[in-house]
Structure 1
Amino acid sequence: MQHRLFNLIALLLFTGLSTRGSAQDINFGFATQTEVANGKLEGNYSTRTGVQSYLGIPFAAPPVGELRWQPPQPAEDWEGVRMAKEFGPRPVQRYVYSDMVFRSPSVSEDCLYLNVWTPAKSEQTGLPVLVYFYGGGFSAGSGDEGRYDGERLAQEGVVVVTPNYRLNVFGFLSHPELTAASDYNGSGNYGLMDQAAAIQWVKDNIAAFGGDPDKITIAGESAGSMSVSAQMVSPLARDLLAGAVGESGSVVNPQRPVTALSDGEAWGEKFFEAAGFASLAEARAASTREVYEAFNDNQLGGPPVVIDGRFLTEDPMITFENRAQAQVPLLVGWTSTERPWGRFPETADAFRKMVGEQFPDNSQEVLQYYDADTPTRSAIELASDTWIVLSTWKWADLQRRFSDQPVYRYRFDEIRPPLKGAENPMQMPGASHATDIEYFLGNLDVSDQYQWEEKDRKAAKTMVTYLANFVKTGDPNGQDLPEWPALGEGETPEVMILDADSKAEPFKAEPRYRYLTKMYTESRR
């Protein structure tokens, strides 16, 4: 009996909590070390999965004090061995989205940390790398969210990195004083510069984790997807990439082009006035709480992404049309029902009235593409298209037309199940925004608040394999997978439908996106 008790105590002492952050997921592991440019790191080696995790690694200096609203600066060296077993603080943000489950200890302006999961064996090199940017409308999110956990994808032979980046007013403020003080006569987009700095850090350091610095694919969902498209055109990052993955969103938007710097500066002036800041020096001297409360209490909306002259030097659509974007394979798509929420018309007449009010000069043409006889479904499709699908479609179209690299386009159709214990759960009309994340990254068990079924696991197994294949080769296809054709030309080129029974089929909605592009382009002339 005493012998058994001794063994049990030893086992408990040797056991650590999983990096997934669940007290029920006990992870057998031991310490492991590596060395990056700034010093030595100690992470955890999981004997359950063979994956090593290094969490909370600083990739830039804390953007505080005089570095608030500045491009990211290099991280400082440290002496000795730095523990990398806990997530760093997440960016300052208001609690906005109920599906964001964080594992970091707190929020802080000192937030520029990243996490690495690697399957590399001793002395192994040359593994492909995926850098994943979180979504959240540039107002919320963090690389420590459970649904972005990199352990599952790492088991497919990929090094996974999830960086933080600054958000909301802390990450995207433009202002005339900031512009005048910069050495490039611009301001704003600091969160996007953080991402570019993270990519550069990966380029410089990922070999220490067994990764190939010449095989970096970037990915993201929603604002993270917009970020990927932006990094593809930015001179700070486009030459560092080997591939790109976008899930719902881009900055190449015929409806809402990227904002001019002057408009972003005007937003910044309104913010300073509302906050009572008389100067940039006064704003930088303010506490985190003062800036946070001024931003949230005055309800000015979020500061826009702008053509700042450093991260973005021109409208991204022009960069694509000049073939100056990253010439890399692209995997991109959206969910079947991006925007199922809101009040939608229930009759044909009500739908026609809505379209007439929304598109007074083009209502008859719009109605040719959205059937009034199915008013609710058509209204949801129109809302989804004008919110996020059109820009994602346009991104794929531009890369197909102005690149020699393949584009793999998808629509995600698997409807995520309801929360466990939910009474009378809402019946979704399709797969809504952000529901593809757990499937692509293989994290159904991490997001264990949902009533996952066998069909969900089947879809996830297919999708995580597609993603791993793409990161490795620039092509999602592989043995025992449904064939995913590259995007072609024609009236209805094929799109890959991702669900429990994934298959490619002609995309019959293609003509409406060509029409919407034409309509919005002509309206701006």
Structure 2
Amino acid sequence: MIPRAASVCLFFAALAYGADAVTAHPPAGKLQGRLEGQVRVFKGIPYAMPPVGAARWKPPIAMPRWTGVRNAAEFGPACHQPQAKLSNIYARDPMPMSEDCLTLNIWTPANARRAPVFLWIHGGSLTGGSSREEMYNGARLAERGLVVVSVNYRLGVLGWLAHPELSAESADGVSGNYGLLDQIEALRWVRRNIGAFGGDAGNVTLAGESAGALSILYLMASPAAQGLFSKAIAESAYMITTPELKTGRFGLPSAEESGTRLAAALHATNLAALRAMDGAELSAKAPAAGFGPWGAIDGHVLKRQLVDVFDRGEQARVPLLAGFNSGEIRSLRSLAPPAPADAAVYEGAIREHYADLASEFLRLYPATNLEESILATTRDALYGWTAQRLARKHTALGVPAFLYFFDHGYPATDSAGLHAFHASELPFVFGTFDGTPQNWPKIPPTPVETGLSDAMMSYWSTFARTGRPAAAKQPGWPQFNAAGAYLSFTDAPHAAEHLLPGMYELNEQVVCRRRAEGLTPWNWNAGLWSPKLPAQTAECQ
């Protein structure tokens, strides 16, 4: 029974919201949200205490139970981040931002009972983005029976700074990874509370794209996240070199050294001076000073390099759906070098950089179409190799893995040279054609587009429900196997085998040699930007 005082609060809240008011009573505290069609929506729910003041750069603290009824009708502010240039294809209008940003949002079917949970982690290079983005509206997936949760986590310098003074004040002697710890705390909140929204805490699928998918890999690798989810979806993930907390390796400074350099660039003489700086100012100045937000291999939250975790079979052994887009780099051209003057210059550079692997490289990425070969080189080194590696390593453990290749374009993308660009699958996954950013090529609501979206939402939803993607009246999605089975999304889904033959083997050999030498990172420096490849070693046969 609801206490009289709470009943009065709910009565007046219902008057203010009208007939669309809905309530939830999780252990965290009572919430007032909205009914939108047949979906209950609760926004801006705090899952951790505000990480401000002395709590800046500390692990998140679980939010205590609140009293009364909390308004959950509006999104919480985004975490601090630099303002994006509005000419960027991904940029949106300015949004409210704060350090007090550790909130999540829930879309749940009105009659949900032990429904599968789909927890979305947004992308944005660990520097930008927010769970409030319209493209991530979970209503359409909720209409398919999922409880959808989207999460904010600390970004940029506020989420990923490591520093010797921070490590010294930590009981575990570590620092950095605060954004990752936020994601883990959100998972713990879901474990404790999602049942009150009709969700099944024992059936949680983690999903993310780009930096959100990198976060999925971090969570699959982190001992602290084990047991908090039962499936994983990684869209355009990248298994990059990760800085180690205290030791420079693979050509990277240690994470603590990067933090020390940043403090010096900001003229902050100690940790207290950094904590005294305004959060918005820090977020704006850190990238300009050369700070890049990444996880840190600290032996605690992240025990070892992602490649090593998956080689050793230490990742979470949960069903996995992973893939990438054919045009990843078409909207991320700063990640690829410009084309050289002519084919001869290109071939000469590749033979110099890739030595005994040059002939195979030029077979896969020939000089006959320099621009396309350069775009494909970076795409495969970052995203294609990662997706196949995830599927292969999981399959080797006997854990189901499902690979996809998104190769769909429509008039606005193809006329702009953006066929199947990075993140272009997202409006199809969420069914949010009307929620894309202002410069995004507009998706026409034709039968082809809506049919493809319907199929993708079905595949993603059934995977979250059962661990096996399926869609009515669509091809079966084969489990990844020795033949390299995958599902391709063009104008419609179709099953195929042996995606981009030779691509994985070449990039795996390159990465193996760089790991063995230990002097250069992998993935960011492919093709014309590659340093000279180390010679083959016995471990890279």
Q: What is the TM-score with the length of structure 2 in the denominator?
A: 0.85
Give the superposition deviation at 1:447. Answer: 2.6
Please list every run of at least 4 consecutive aligned residues from structure 1 whose deviation after the TM superposition is greater than 4 angstroms. Answer: 13-16, 99-105
Cα distance in 2, alignment partners of residues 434 and 374 from structure 1? 25
Give the helix-richer structure, 1 or 2.
2
Question: Counterparts of 1:125 and 1:32 in 2: how far apart (Å)?
Answer: 16
Summarize the Cα distance change of 1:41–1:302 in structure 2 as closer, same or farther, 3 Å threshold.
Answer: same
Distance 1:15 1:183 in 2: 47
1:247 touches 1:332 (CA, 8 Å); kept in 2?
yes
Q: How far off is 1:350 after superposition?
A: 4.0
SS of equivalent to 1:212: strand
Aligned to 1:5: none
Partners of 2:280 and 2:443 in 1: CA distance: 38
Distance in 2 (alpha carbons) for counterparts of 1:125 and 1:506: 38
| Equivalent AA in structure 2 for residue 166 of structure 1 | R
Q: Percent identity?
A: 33
Q: Distance in 1 between matches of 2:426 and 2:499?
A: 25
The answer (yes or no) to whether the contact 2:234–2:322 under 8 Å persists in 1 is yes
Partner residue of 1:109?
99
SS of alignment partner, residue 510 of structure 1: coil
- Matched residue, 2:362: 367
Letter in 2 for 1:277: A
Cα distance in structure 1, aligned partners of 2:206 and 2:388: 18
Match of 1:305 in 2: 295
Structure number with greater CO (CA < 8 Å, separation at least 6) is 2
Q: 2:305 aligns with which of 300, 311, 315?
A: 315
2:289 aligned with 1:295 = no
Alignment match of 1:32 (pick from 13, 22, 28): 22
The question of whether the paired residues in 1 share the 8 Å contact of 2:237 and 2:386 is answered with yes
Which residue of 175, 188, 191 corresponds with 2:179?
191
Please report how far the alpha carbon of residue 330 of structure 1 lies from its aligned counterpart in structure 2 after TM superposition: 0.5
CA distance in 2, matches of 1:473, 1:15: 40
> Which residue matches 1:471?
464
Residues 3-152 of structure 1: matches in 2 within 5 Å?
30-46=20-36, 48=37, 50-96=38-84, 98-100=88-90, 106-121=96-111, 124-152=112-140
Which 10-residue stretch deviates more, 316-325 or 107-116? 316-325
Aligned 8 A contact 1:268 1:303 in 2: no
- Corresponding letter in the other structure for 2:469: P
Q: What corresponds to 2:6 in structure 1? A: none
What letter corresponds to residue 55 of structure 1 in structure 2?
K
- For 2:261, which of 253, 270, 286 is the aligned residue? 270
- Whether contact under 8 Å (1:337, 1:433) holds in the other structure is yes
Superposition pairs for residues 179-258 of structure 1, below 5 Å?
A: 179-250=167-238, 253=239, 256-258=240-242
Q: Corresponding residue for 1:4?
A: none
1:488-507 equivalence runs, <5 A: 488-490=481-483, 493-507=484-498
Counterpart residue identity of residue 469, structure 1: T
Rounded Cα–Cα distance in structure 2 between residues aligned with 1:205 and 1:175: 34
1:20 match: none
Matched residue, 1:261: 245
| Cα pair distance change 1:66/1:328, threshold 3 Å | same
Mapped partners of 2:327, 2:145: distance in 1: 32
1:196 counterpart SS class: helix
CA distance in structure 2 between the partners assigned to 1:471 and 1:284 by the alignment: 40
Counterpart selection for 2:420 from 431, 451, 475: 431
> CA offset at residue 120 of structure 1?
3.7
Please tell me whether residue 394 in structure 1 is matched to residue 383 in structure 2. Answer: no
Match of residue 6 from structure 1: none
The amino acid that maps onto 1:444 is: F
- 1:520 pairs with 2:511: yes
User: Structure 1, unaligned stretches of length 5 or more?
Assistant: 1-12, 17-27
Tell me the amino acid that sits aligned with residue 244 of structure 1: A
Distance 1:350 1:329 in 2: 45
Q: Rate the CA distance shift 1:193–1:357 in 2: closer, same or farther, 3 A.
A: farther
Aligned to 1:22: none
Number of corresponding residues: 485
Q: 2:409 aligned with 1:409, yes or no?
A: no
Over the aligned positions, Cα root-mean-square deviation in angstroms equals 2.4
Structure 2 unpaired stretches of 5+? 1-13, 247-253, 517-541
Q: SS where residue 412 of structure 2 aligns?
A: coil
Shift in CA distance, 376/345, structure 1 to aligned 2, threshold 3 Å = farther
Residue 338 of structure 1: aligned partner: 328
- Distance across 1 between alignment mates of 2:16 and 2:207: 33
